[in-house]
Structure 1
Amino acid sequence: MSWPAGRGGVGIAGVGTALPGDPVDNAALSRRLGIAPEWVEAFIGTRTRHFAVDLEGGAVRWALEDLCADAADRALADAGADPDDVAFIVVATATPDALMPTTAALVADRLGIDQVPVYQLQSGCSGSVQALALAGALLAGGSREKRGQKPVGLVVGGDVCSKHLDLRQDFRELPATQLVNYVLFGDGAGAVALTRAPEAARARLVRAEHWLSGLGRAPGQRVEWFGQADRHSDRPAVVEDYKSVESLVPVMAREVLDWLLDALDWPAASLGHVLPPQLSGRMTERITRGLRQGLEWEEVSCVAETGNNGNALVFHQLERLLPRLAAGDRAVGIAIESSKWIKAGFAVEATG
């Protein structure tokens, strides 16, 4: 889906995020998994992450619904909006609590929101940009709203990746392709409140784009869903082709940045900030070096502290970006999903 927002775009009125529990550092992870913290630092480069499950006992302590509702509530508060102002909700996730009911519907219920459209997009790291594109199109096209309501589009992204991981096994026997999932990922959620009035918002979302780029390519990541018939399958719940990710994501990120700058007619030198793909601490460093090419923009990253929490990442980056923006500042965000290779990007410009 392509969403060119025109001159005005839509306003980013508020942002909110949520992380479960205390940060888990590499030393704690090392004690639990029996792997060297030096290996995690050298290979992954992520210092901390947050888990919705108890690392010792494996009990689930937070559901995705909990985190998404918390982040959405904070975004509305940041925007000075009430649940009654929400005209629609879009939730992006790769790890819903259940296939039905949708997490989007559960979040709406938790917030006391009724009689509005709710959408859920099933996607990985690019899902939040897909949700922004859908929300922008709904606002620009005139979404249905109640009389007297301030039209607010609530966009939420989150993932609880840890529930797919088996903490009862001998991690010393795991191949690197599976072990990486225990140190790479974290859990979390984020949200933004969008409005039709960018001039009254903290910044404006100018454009959001995403497109499939996986024709003929094997998936770089697969997350299984086990039903009653195949729940005892020997298939691992999560498989990551990290070598393919290392080779393809930096190239795709560069393509997204070049495409957006060209489509917006923005000179590269006019960028003040770039929000690079948040795969891991090490991969983000590598991608950023490839994107920079002598330019002086500021990197906005969070993955070294939050872990790769999927659809939450874009909103955690936006939360860090907005306080740094001065009037007229420009920023570009990039997300690459390795499951079937989806490229996504968005552009933000500060208002006066």
Structure 2
Amino acid sequence: MNASGGAVSRSGGRSGPVLLAGVGTALPGAPVDNAALSRLLGIAPEWMETFIGTRTRHFALDLDGGTVRWTLEDLCTDAADRALADAGADPDDVAFIVLATATPDALMPTTAALVADRLGIDGVPVYQLQSGCSGAVQAMALASSLLVGGARGPKPVGLVIGGDVCSKHLDLRQDFREMPPSQLVNYVLFGDGAGAAALSRAPGTARAVLSRADHRLSGLGSAPGQRVEWFGQADRHSGRPAVTEDYKAVEARVPVMAQEMLDTMLDTLGWPAESLGHVLPPQLSGRMTERITRGLRQGLEWEEVSCVAETGNNGNALVFLQLERLLPRLAAGGRAVGIAIESSKWIKSGFAVEATG
């Protein structure tokens, strides 16, 4: 790990670079389209498509009755199971777990510890990072450093998990006609889900090389762009909304931060921009991601890998959903850069992937 928060995959000794051995994702239930949300919220589906651009999303709760059907623990366990299966690995191979989320089921015990228990994993380090959309990249950076630093085991696997259940903050009992647009839009933008990746340095296990994972705080002196509250017994009736977001600040700052992160990744790796085959842009909403992608492209021919228009903004799951779409497309010699921007206190993050062989 360097001072800027970057982790680099390094070769040496009997171990090679950090490898993406497997990826898995989990989305709760059937997709919820704009027509279904329109009936609930009283917003025209045409408005959602035109201004938000997210067509479907998945919710862990039942929109009709408000019953929670999946917890974050459930989704993360499913995604981790699928990542290990994709890697041809067993829970006994896992040397450590790093889980990133902004919406844990509880403050204690951690979701990471509960997922480890569900998977039958014991006696290994288990970390949980509290962060928004950049958390998945932070988790990959930490996992890469742990593997390079000598994680123990005959063929150690680092299990990286990210997920969020945003719908736990949505109150379906309200009169949505009285809700201000700044809060109403959260019901359209966000969704729930989880993803996971099995990282390894064992030869012959790779679907791709994780060449770098980097994250940097970029909010010195700036007001947070997003705040997610935690309510205790003393302040749960304070009247504060559970989630607030400064959408004007997000629209102004995220495209700039995304370009900065892309430039930083290319400069650090020494990759010419023309060598990129794919870019995984920040996933805010369908329309916002389209705008960011146009700004990043600058006449280059790389292919965009996005998911948010179908999955909704499900926070720490997004990077893994993008990776799942990327890997089958990554031809021999192919290079890709992913970018995730977190508006909470303005964190920019990025990662680089290369095809093996």
Decide: shared fold, TM above 0.5.
yes
Match of 1:228 in 2: 233
Alpha-carbon distance in structure 2 between the residues aligned to 1:21 and 1:142:
39
Amino acid corresponding to residue 28 of structure 1 in structure 2: A
For the residues of structure 2 that align with 1:199 and 1:245, how far apart are their CA atoms?
A: 42
Structure 1: distance between partners of 2:211 and 2:50: 37
Return closer, same or farther for 1:288/1:198 CA change in 2, 3 Å cut-off.
farther
Task: Name the SS of the counterpart of 1:295 in structure 2.
Answer: coil
Whether 1:20 aligns to 2:24 is: no
Q: CA deviation at 1:77?
A: 0.3
1:296 aligns with 2:301: yes
Change in Cα spacing, 1:198 to 1:250, as seen in structure 2 (3 Å) is farther
1:6 counterpart letter in structure 2: R
Match of 2:116 among 101, 108, 115: 108
CA distance in 1, matches of 2:26, 2:213: 23
Q: Name the amino acid aligned to 1:72.
A: A
Contact 2:110 2:128 survives alignment (8 Å): yes
Residues 285-330 of structure 1: CA deviation (Å, up to 9, x unaligned): 0000000000000000000000000000000000000000111100
Please give the secondary structure, in 1, of the residue aligned with 2:351: strand
Matched with 1:188 is 193
Shift of 1:144: 2.9
State the shift of 1:233 in Å.
1.5
Choose from 317, 323, 329 the match for 2:322.
Answer: 317
Asked whether 1:171 is paired with 2:176, we answer yes
What is the 5 A alignment of 1:62-211?
62-145=70-153, 149-197=154-202, 200-211=205-216
Structure 1 residues 298 and 198 mapped into 2: Cα distance closer, same or farther (>3 Å)?
Answer: farther
Give 1:170 deviation, angstroms: 1.0
How far off is 1:197 after superposition? 3.0
Stretches of structure 2 lacking an aligned partner (at least 5 in a row): none
Tell me whether 1:243 sits opposite 2:248 in the alignment: yes
Whether the 8 Å contact between 1:11 and 1:199 is mirrored in structure 2 is no
1:349 to 340, 354, 357: 354
The offset of 1:200, in angstroms, is 3.7
User: Which residue of the partner structure matches residue 63 of structure 2?
Assistant: 55
Q: C-alpha distance in 2, partners of 1:85/1:311?
A: 24
Q: CA deviation at 1:198?
A: 5.8
CA–CA distance in structure 2, aligned partners of residues 122 and 18 of structure 1: 20
1:329 aligns with 2:317: no
AA aligned opposite 1:219: P
Q: State whether residues 9 and 207 of structure 1, in contact with CA within 8 Å, keep that contact through their aligned partners in structure 2.
A: no
1:209-259 per-position Cα deviation (integer Å, ceiling 9, x unaligned): 001000111111100001111111210000111111111000000000001
Aligned to 2:44: 36
Q: CA deviation at 1:127?
A: 0.1
Deviation string for 1:122-174 (max 9, x for gaps)? Answer: 000000000000000000010133xxx32100000000000011111011111
| TM-score, normalization by structure 2 | 0.96
Q: CA deviation at 1:180?
A: 1.0
Deviation at 1:79, TM superposition (A): 0.4
**What secondary structure, in the 3-state scheme, does the structure 2 residue paired with 1:304 have?**
helix
Deviation at 1:199, TM superposition (A): 5.4
Distance 1:198 1:342, change over 3 A: farther
Distance 2:69 2:94 in 1: 29
User: In the alignment, is the contact (CA less than 8 A) between 1:125 and 1:311 conserved in 2?
Assistant: yes
Number of corresponding residues: 349
Task: Say yes or no: does 1:11 pair with 2:19.
Answer: yes
> 3-state SS of the aligned residue for 1:32?
helix
For 1:313 and 1:265, the matched residues in 2 are separated by 26
Corresponding position of 1:2: 6
Q: Is the 8 A contact 2:87 2:205 kept in 1?
A: no
| Aligned-pair CA distance for 1:185 | 0.2
Shift of 1:9: 2.9
SS of 2:53 mapped into structure 1: coil
Q: Distance in 2 between matches of 1:199 and 1:268?
A: 29
Kindly provide the amino acid, as one letter, of the partner of residue 57 in structure 1.
Answer: G
SS in 2 for 1:257: helix
- The CA deviation at 1:42 is 1.4
- Once the two structures are aligned, what percentage of the paired residues are identical? 84
Instruction: Give the Cα separation in 2 of the matches to 1:38 and 1:226.
Output: 35
